[in-house]
Structure 1
C-alpha cells in the first residue's frame, strides 16, 4: 500500500473548503492497482502528488488494495483524484466505490467512465455526434472458438481491407495493439490482443498525423489544450510511450491554424458527447485531406514525465502545480457528494 503524505507549503495560500476559508483541502490520489498499467499509474500518481504539493495542497497517495476503503474512511479526504490506468481505474468501478463512501471525485463519474472505457461504444457515441471515426468491428474471443477463426479473419480483410489496427476494446497504453499490413499477420495480432482482453476492436488503419488533444475544465467550461503531435519511426507502443528517445513530440502540433482548430473542436465534441468531466484526452489521426479521425478517449490521462496532457499544459503556458490545483478548486466547487445521479429520462 502507498501511504505517502505531505503537508502544503507554508508559502502557498490555503484553499477554502466547504465554506471554511484558510483550511487546506486534503486530496487523496489513487495510483497503482492491479492492471497491466500499474507501473504507469504509480508514476502518474507520484507526479500529480508532487505538482499538487508544490502548489500548497495537502496530498496522500494510496494504492488500490484491501486497505484502500479503510484508509479513505479514516482520512475523509475532501477530494479523491483517481490517477489510475486500465481496468477498475477507468471502467468506473473504483469511482463507484468512492461515491459509495460519500466522497467527492475529481474527474468523470462512473457511468460516463464506463462508456468512454469501451472504445467501440465511445466511437459509436461520438459518430452519432457527427465526428468521423475509422470503420471498425468488435469481436469477442469466444466467437472465434464458436465459429472458427479462418472465415472470420478472411471476412475482416474483405470488409475492412488492409492495413487494419487490432486493439483491445477496453485498455490503454497501447498494450495488445498491432498494425496488420498483410493477411498472414492477422491471426498473430488477434492472439496478442486477446492476451490483454477478451474482446478485440479491429478498425481500418488511417494514415496521417497522430495527435492527442487534452481537455481541461477549470470551472468555466471545457477548454482544449494545444494538440500534441506524435512522431515515431515504429509503432507508438508501450515502450515508446514511457521510455524517452523513441518518440519525438511537437507541442503544439505542426498543424495549420484551421486544422488545429478542427482537432480541438473534435476533442471538445467528444468530451461533451461522452459526458466527461474536468479532464480528458482524445487520440486522433489527421489524414492527408485534413480530416480528423477520432480513435479513442481517456478519462484518466497519463501524467508521467513523457505523457501528453502535461506536455500540452506546458505548451499552453500552464504551471502544472497551478493547473492541478485549479482542477482541485473547480471540483470542490462543483462536484456533488454521494452517488452519481441517474440520467434524466
Structure 2
C-alpha cells in the first residue's frame, strides 16, 4: 500500500467554523485509523496555508470547510491552480450547488419537484419598501413559507414563517447571513437526507437518513446538539419510496456535475412526492452529522470511504 501525505482542511472564518473543525478532527482521526502508514496532517485556512502548501505539498487535500470559504468553489479553484488533488466536487460544481436558487432551477429542469420560490436581494427589499415587498411575497407564495439565505449551510438564518407578521423578523435574520434571501413555499412531510458517494465502485446512494427534530425544525441547535434530534437510518420509508428518494439524490449529483460525495436534503410529502430542498458538497462529518450515519448504515466507515476516494483519484 502506497504511503500518502493527506492534508485535512477545516476551520476558516465562516459562521460554521466550529462545525468544520469538529468534522476535520473526526475525519483526520478516521483516516489515521484505516491508513496508519499515511501522514495525515490538519490545517486551518488562514494566511499560513499557502506557505505551508509550498513547503509541505500534500498528495491530496480533504476540504471540510463549511460556508462560503469551502463550498463556493474559490478554494477548489485555488487548489486546481496549484495542481493539488483534492476530495470532492470541482470549483464549477461547487458554485452551482452552493447557490440554492441556481441549484434548485437546474434540479427542477430534470423533473424533480422543487418548492416555488422567490429570490430577493437586500437592495431591492430596501428600494421598493419592505412592507410592499413582503405583501407581494405573501400573496404569491402564501403561508407558511421558509426564508433562508441563498448561500450557506447548517440552517443558519433559516426561519419557518407561518404568519405575515413574523416575516419581517425572518427577513432580517436571513439578511444577517447574506445579501440575498430565498423565500420558498413550505412543504410539510418527512425530512430525509440522501448521501451519494462516488468511489472506486462507481456512484451510488447510501441508505437515506430520516430526521425528526424535537423542536419541529432542523435548525443549527438541532443539528449539532446531541439528543435534540432523532434519526432513523435507513429512513422509515417503503422500499419503493426509498428507491425514489435515492434516485433523486443521484439525479442531483449528476445534473450539478458533482464528484466524490454529496448530500441532498429532500422532503417526502403525504402524497409521496419527493421535494428537493438543497445539496451540500462538503457534508458535515461530526458525531451528529448525517453522512457518517448513512455510511455506518451501509456497513462502511468514514475512514474507508474517504481513503477509497483518495486512492481512486
Q: Does 1:262 align with 2:241?
A: no
TM-score, normalised relative to structure 2: 0.98
Equivalences, count? 310
Equivalent in the alignment of 1:29: 8
Q: Does 1:132 align with 2:136?
A: no
Equivalent in the alignment of 2:286: 304
Q: Does 1:221 align with 2:202?
A: yes
- 1:272-287 matched pairs, under 5 angstroms: 272-287=254-269
TM-aligned CA deviation for residue 101 of structure 1: 1.1
TM-aligned CA deviation for residue 165 of structure 1: 0.5
- 1:190-229 matched pairs, under 5 angstroms: 190-229=171-210
RMSD: 0.8
Equivalent in the alignment of 2:295: 313
Equivalent in the alignment of 2:151: 170
The secondary structure found in structure 2 opposite 1:89 is helix
- The answer on whether the counterparts of 1:52 and 1:58 sit within 8 Å (CA) in structure 2 is no
The secondary structure found in structure 1 opposite 2:72 is coil
Q: C-alpha separation between the residues in 2 aligned to 1:244 and 1:329? A: 33
- The answer on whether the counterparts of 1:126 and 1:273 sit within 8 Å (CA) in structure 2 is yes
- The answer on whether the counterparts of 2:214 and 2:230 sit within 8 Å (CA) in structure 1 is no
Equivalent in the alignment of 1:338: none
Q: Does 1:159 align with 2:154?
A: no
1:268-289: CA deviations, max 9, x gaps?
0000000000000000000001
Q: Provide runs of 4+ in structure 1 moved above 6 Å.
A: none
Equivalent in the alignment of 1:249: 231
Q: Gaps (5+ residues) in structure 2?
A: none
Q: Does 1:79 align with 2:60?
A: yes
TM-aligned CA deviation for residue 220 of structure 1: 3.3
TM-aligned CA deviation for residue 152 of structure 1: 0.8
- The answer on whether the counterparts of 1:27 and 1:80 sit within 8 Å (CA) in structure 2 is yes
The more displaced of 321-330 and 237-246 is: 321-330
- The answer on whether the counterparts of 1:303 and 1:309 sit within 8 Å (CA) in structure 2 is yes
The secondary structure found in structure 2 opposite 1:236 is coil
TM-aligned CA deviation for residue 219 of structure 1: 2.5
TM-score, normalised relative to structure 1: 0.89
Q: C-alpha separation between the residues in 1 aligned to 2:80 and 2:175? A: 32
TM-aligned CA deviation for residue 72 of structure 1: 1.1
The more displaced of 316-325 and 75-84 is: 316-325
Equivalent in the alignment of 1:328: 310
Q: C-alpha separation between the residues in 1 aligned to 2:302 and 2:278? A: 24
TM-aligned CA deviation for residue 112 of structure 1: 1.1
The secondary structure found in structure 2 opposite 1:69 is helix
Equivalent in the alignment of 1:5: none
Equivalent residue for 1:290, pick from 269, 272, 276: 272
TM-aligned CA deviation for residue 320 of structure 1: 2.2
Q: C-alpha separation between the residues in 2 aligned to 1:264 and 1:92? A: 25
Q: C-alpha separation between the residues in 2 aligned to 1:296 and 1:320? A: 23
